């Protein structure tokens, strides 16, 4: 059999395109346009060639939380909030894609503008507020996506994660019931499930990170997921970088005691320390979670602390400030089982994941 020629280098035209088209545009509008272009590429005649060019090499495959990931690098929740373009994103080389955050009830999120770029810092501030169509509407999309991914990729398909959060209108004391609504609708379509209690954009949500609230919430979600699916659905919790070290230790101890499958660290931060963007500009952007390069050091600190406290049986997913293959390798070397990115995707463009996979593969 004649050997296939080596794949050409992936193009680096996106930075110039970003500066020419997206830099001066409202960030949320730019996101919608960029995402629509990715989805359009999926339906074009070039989609099969794109999958071939971006598919991770077999040597990058890893097993975490009882699941087989074609690459340790995946897309964090927040980009595809509603499962509208998950299969299209899979064509770009991500080893897993985490859809969400999805809530039990549909909600529009916070008023716009609610997404801001800090280009000098390679960062974002968002206060989106879990805008989504609700679990019942998203469920059939996820079902169709899993079928499509299996048909396109076979056994080496990208893993589908589902991230769930609290509906804003639901009182905090009723939060568990709201999470169970999402669990009942979505768990059967998820390869793994994530309980998000760490977004700063839903009032009171981070109070659920207190162990007294978090442990029974996770136990209830796990029981419901397993009951409705008839199988064990790997369950992870996503925590904030703003937790005190002692609270991180408590989360780790709880994860061990419960036999939790994974911990995702970290979500966005409310801190504005160390930014290059002028303070007046940052203040004008208002409240919200900061993501991107400024989060890198704290994310690494939390990763190191958690890995020292967690056994290998608990999957550790590191996210925050990841841009290059070297960044991903650093996380893996410090004990992460998987690594996620999001913010750099907006600055690096559609071949970002494939480029990182090539750097990881050497």
Mean pLDDT lowest among 44-53, 141-150, 255-264, 326-335: 44-53
- Is the pLDDT at 2 greater than 70, yes or no? no
pLDDT for 343: 96
Over residues 310-325, mean pLDDT: 96
What is the number of helices (H) and of strands (E) in the chain?
13, 13
Residue 165 known to bind ligand: no
Across-strand partners of 163? 194
Could you give phi then psi for residue 67, rounded to 5 degrees?
A: -120, 150
pLDDT for 1: 37
N-term to C-term CA, the chain: 25
Question: CA–CA separation, 74 vs 139, rounded Å?
Answer: 21
pLDDT for 261: 97
Across-strand partners of 69? 62
Q: Which pLDDT band holds residue 125 (cuts at 50, 70, 90)?
A: very high
Cα-only R_g, the chain: 19
Q: Which pLDDT band holds residue 63 (cuts at 50, 70, 90)?
A: very high
pLDDT for 234: 98
**Annotated domain spans of the chain:** 25-361
Residue 54 known to bind ligand: no
Fold of 25-361: TIM Barrel (3.20.20)
User: What's the full length of the chain, in residues?
Assistant: 362
Over residues 192-198, mean pLDDT: 92
Q: What is the DSSP letter of 76?
A: P
Q: What is the pLDDT of residues 17-34, one digit of tens each?
A: 677 677 788 899 999 998
pLDDT for 51: 87
pLDDT for 12: 65
Over residues 186-211, mean pLDDT: 86
Contact 327, 348 (CB under 8 A): no
pLDDT for 17: 66
- Is the pLDDT at 273 greater than 90, yes or no? yes
Residues 198, 199, 291, 318: which is the catalytic one? 199
Contact 83, 75 (CB under 8 A): no
pLDDT for 4: 39
Over residues 49-58, mean pLDDT: 88
The more confident residue out of 107 and 51 is 107
Q: Which pLDDT band holds residue 41 (cuts at 50, 70, 90)?
A: confident
pLDDT for 20: 67
Q: What is the pLDDT of residues 239-255, one digit of tens each?
A: 999 989 988 999 999 99
Q: What is the pLDDT of residues 69-98, one digit of tens each?
A: 999 999 999 999 999 999 999 999 999 999
Mean pLDDT lowest among 20-24, 258-262, 295-299: 20-24
For residue 295, the tally of other CB atoms under 10 A from its CB is: 24
Residue 238 known to bind ligand: yes
pLDDT for 165: 95
68, two tokens = 């087989």
47 is annotated as an active-site residue? no
Across-strand partners of 125? 116, 290
Residue 91 known to bind ligand: no
Q: Which pLDDT band holds residue 6 (cuts at 50, 70, 90)?
A: very low
Question: CA–CA separation, 242 vs 350, rounded Å?
Answer: 30
* Interacting residues of 333 by C-beta distance below 8 A, sequence separation 6+: none
CA distances from 67 to 82, 95, 138, 343 (A): 23, 11, 23, 25
pTM value > 0.85: yes
- Is the pLDDT at 168 greater than 50, yes or no? yes
Residue 357 known to bind ligand: no
Residue 80 known to bind ligand: yes
- Is the pLDDT at 306 greater than 80, yes or no? yes
> Sheet harboring 123-126: ordered strands across?
115-118, 123-126, 289-292
Question: CA–CA separation, 311 vs 116, rounded Å?
Answer: 38
Contact 68, 22 (CB under 8 A): no
């Amino acid at each position: 059999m004649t050997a296939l020629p080596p794949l050409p280098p992936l193009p680096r035209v996106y930075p110039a395109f970003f500066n020419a088209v997206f830099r001066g545009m409202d960030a949320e509008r730019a996101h919608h346009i960029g995402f629509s272009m990715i989805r359009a590429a999926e339906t074009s005649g070039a989609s099969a060639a794109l999958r071939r060019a971006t598919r991770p090499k077999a040597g990058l495959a890893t097993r975490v939380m009882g699941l087989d990931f074609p690459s340790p690098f995946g897309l964090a929740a927040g980009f595809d909030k509603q499962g509208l373009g998950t299969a299209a994103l899979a064509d770009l080389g991500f080893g897993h894609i985490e859809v969400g955050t999805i809530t039990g009830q549909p909600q529009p999120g916070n008023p716009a503008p609610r997404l801001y770029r800090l280009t000098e810092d390679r960062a974002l501030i968002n206060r989106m507020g879990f805008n989504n169509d609700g679990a019942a509407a998203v469920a059939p999309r996820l079902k169709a996506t899993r079928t499509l991914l299996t048909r396109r990729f076979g056994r080496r398909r990208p893993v589908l994660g589902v991230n769930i959060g609290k509906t804003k209108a639901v009182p905090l004391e009723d939060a568990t019931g709201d999470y169970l609504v999402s669990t009942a609708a979505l768990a059967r379509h998820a390869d793994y499930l994530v309980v998000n209690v760490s977004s700063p954009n839903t009032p009171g949500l981070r109070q659920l990170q207190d162990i007294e609230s978090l442990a029974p919430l996770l136990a209830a979600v796990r029981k419901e997921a397993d009951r409705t699916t008839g199988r064990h659905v790997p369950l992870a919790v996503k925590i904030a970088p703003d937790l005190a070290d002692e609270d991180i230790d408590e989360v780790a101890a709880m994860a061990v005691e419960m036999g939790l499958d994974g911990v995702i660290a970290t979500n966005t931060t409310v801190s504005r320390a160390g930014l290059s963007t002028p303070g007046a500009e940052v203040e004008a952007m208002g409240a919200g979670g900061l993501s991107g390069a400024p989060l890198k050091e704290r994310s690494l600190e939390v990763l190191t602390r958690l890995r020292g406290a967690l056994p290998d049986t608990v999957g550790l997913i590191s996210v925050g400030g990841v841009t290059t293959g070297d960044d991903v390798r650093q996380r893996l070397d410090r004990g992460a089982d998987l690594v996620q990115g999001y913010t750099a995707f907006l600055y690096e463009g559609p071949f970002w994941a494939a480029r990182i996979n090539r750097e990881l593969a050497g």
